[in-house]
Every structure is written in structure tokens, then in C-alpha cells.
Amino acid sequence: MNEIKIFSPATVANVACGFDVLGFCLDSVGDVMVIRKIDKRGIYITKIEGFDLPYEAELNVAGVSALAMYDALKPDCGFEIEIYKNIKPGSGIGSSAASAVGSVFGMNELLGRPYNKTQLTAFAIKGEALASKCEHADNLAPAMFGGFTLVKSVNPLEILEIPMPDDLYATIIHPQIEIKTSEARAILPKDIPLSDAITQWANFGSLIHALHTSNYELMQKSLHDAIIEPYRSKLIPYYNDVKTVVLKAGALGCGISGSGPSIFTLNKGIETANNVKDAMKHVYSNTGIDFDIHVSKINSGGIKIL
């Protein structure tokens, strides 16, 4: 096999109380990438459709993660990468993570799988860091593994796959404004009050327990963000209005997806997820800001070969 076509999914990071460590995978949105093995050594980005991104491998997220793996393995061949980008950069649903995992996953398949998924994610962190100026894996891990993942540690990289109930759906609104992850990180405080930290780790622990035990009531009580949301929600127009209506429409919880501007909800069942979609739409329809809305089952498989 010399060529592979893959689907690299969008993801939601943080999940309210799990800043930088928790994430989940979507199945209705993602990029398509073609990776081709060639005789000429090196990494070459030969096609990008969808958005205007750099072709130089060293300046492209997919290229940087590919180079990290390539330099480690030193294979006797090169690779061409085609990127069909559907996830808008700066949307908050793991655009850079999808690119970063896509290249290394594809190359690994073409080379007979020398690396496991955790090792591939470690290479992808290098690409993600180009976009966000920081090494974190809370979008990369769910894109690679699927489902909910917890990044227990970045160095050394340790990823836990968290079980989840079957009928969990996400509804996500993406207002068409761009928020750069690096800027959304720069506005966060360096120190936090102990009382907020206590609230956050209580919610985080109980959310993980709720996912393990399919306890929706506990999930609803746990999906709160005492630390990050007060700062970042100011960057997202109508955030509080959206949050109010989606909770009224039955969402289990609502928060900022990654570093925003997308806003996510988790919902029990597709019917509630669709009601939440209507409620979000109602708020944004009158604002003059363009938006997309996605309803997606949680994708349990992650990145896949097409």
C-alpha cells in the first residue's frame, strides 16, 4: 500500500471542568487527508483545499507532526500529504489537532504500524504546539483514540480512555468569528483561588465517575467550569444567552469548546440534541453573526481509514 485516505475527526477539548486534560470526539465533522509514500525522501504538502494554510512542512501543523515522526524513524522513503480541510482553523473544535494526528496516523499505516496510538499522539503534540504555542493533547487524544480521553500526563504522555453512555450526543454552535488558541490562553490567570480549584476538581472527578456509571444526573451536576469560563466567555458574543436557552431546552451541560468560539452541549439522546440545536439557532439568528451548528453522536472510534 502506497497511498491512504483518512478521516480525521473534530473534537471538543476541556469539556467544562477538564481544562487541558479532557476531550471527546465528534463524528459528523472532520478533515479528509491523503498520505502517499514516495521514493524521494522528506515530507511534502502537495495540496490544501478548504482554507489558506502554509505548504512549507515546517510551518504547517500536519507537516510539523509528520516531521517529528519522520526524524525519529528515518524511513527510507518520503511522504506527500494532501489536506482537505473542513474544520475551520480557530473554530475551537480541534482543527489543528485533526491535521496533526492525520499525517502521523496515515504515515504509520503506510509503514506497517511501527508506533502505537500514544506514540503517534506524542509526535502530533509537536504539530499542535505550532498552532497553540503550548504542548497539550486534549484535542489530539480523542481524535486519535475516539470517545472521551483523559490526558493523565503530557511528559511522559499517558492517555486514559474513559467509558461513556451509548446515547450521548453533542450539539455545537460555531459562531463565525476566529479566536486564536494562543490568545485565549494568554488571557488566563497564572494563579487561581484554592476555593475555585476545589470546586473544579470535585466537578471533574464526579464527571469522570458519571461517565463511567452512565449517571446523567451526576453528569448534569458536574458540567461546570469555575476557572476558565469566566475569562473566555467574554470573547464569545451571546455566550450567556446561548447557555441559558440550551439548559432550558434540556442540555446536560454547556461550555466553551476548547478555546472557543464554539460552544458545546452534551445531551441525552438525539431528540434533546436537536431541541438544543433549535434553541441555539434561535439566539444566533437575530445577531447578524453567521454560524454553523453540528449535532453529533460521540464518535467512539476516532481517526479512521476511508
Number of residues that bind ligand HSE (CB under 6 A): 13
**Of the candidate residues 95, 139, 149, 265, the single one contacting ligand HSE (CB under 6 A):** 139
**Of the candidate residues 108, 171, 181, 262, the single one contacting ligand HSE (CB under 6 A):** 181
Q: Are 3 and 55 in contact (CB under 8 A)?
A: no
Write each residue from 86 to 125 as x if it is in contact with ligand HSE (CB under 6 A), else as -, in one continuous string.
----------------------------------------
Looking at 181, 229, 265, 272, which residue is catalytic? 181
Give the Cβ contact number of residue 102 at 10 Å: 32
Could you list the beta-strand ranges (E) of the chain: 3-13, 22-38, 42-49, 78-84, 148-153, 158-162, 168-175, 253-256, 263-268, 291-297, 304-305
Q: How far apart (Å, rounded) are the C-alpha atoms in residues 96 and 102?
A: 10
Nearer to ligand HSE, 82 or 128 (CB): 128
Q: Select the span of 33-41, 43-51, 136-144, 294-302 touching ligand HSE (CB under 6 A).
A: 136-144
Looking at 128, 171, 229, 272, which residue is catalytic? 128
Write each residue from 259 to 288 as x if it is in contact with ligand HSE (CB under 6 A), else as -, in one continuous string.
x-----------------------------
Strand partners for 298 = 26
181 catalytic per annotation: yes
The residues, ordered by sequence, that sit 6+ positions from 129 with a Cβ below 8 Å of its Cβ are 64, 135
Reported as half-sphere exposure (CB side, CA atoms, 13 A), residue 272 has a value of 19
Q: How far apart (Å, rounded) are the C-alpha atoms in residues 128 and 142?
A: 14
Nearer to ligand HSE, 13 or 210 (CB): 13
Q: Are 196 and 226 in contact (CB under 8 A)?
A: yes
- Of 182-221, binders to ligand HSE (CB under 6 A) are 184-185
**Of the candidate residues 60, 91, 121, 132, the single one contacting ligand HSE (CB under 6 A):** 132
Could you tell me the smallest distance in angstroms from the CB atom of residue 260 to ligand HSE? 8
Three-state secondary structure call for residue 253: strand
Give the Cβ contact number of residue 248 at 10 Å: 11
Three-state secondary structure call for residue 192: coil
Backbone angles phi, psi at 111, to 5 degrees: -95, 5
Residue 60 binds ligand HSE, judged by CB under 6 A: no
Nearer to ligand HSE, 210 or 228 (CB): 228
213 catalytic per annotation: no
Backbone angles phi, psi at 139, to 5 degrees: -95, -35
Residue 258 binds ligand HSE, judged by CB under 6 A: yes
Residue with cell 504547517: 60
51: cell is: 482554507
Q: Select the span of 70-78, 155-163, 177-185, 201-209 touching ligand HSE (CB under 6 A).
A: 177-185
Residue 138 binds ligand HSE, judged by CB under 6 A: yes
Q: How far apart (Å, rounded) are the C-alpha atoms in residues 5 and 250?
A: 38
Write each residue from 10 to 39 as x if it is in contact with ligand HSE (CB under 6 A), else as -, in one continuous string.
---xx----xx-------------------
Could you tell me the smallest distance in angstroms from the CB atom of residue 49 to ligand HSE? 23
Chain residues that interact with ligand HSE, rule: CB under 6 A: 13-14, 19-20, 132, 136, 138-139, 181, 184-185, 258-259
Catalytic residues, by residue number, are 128, 181
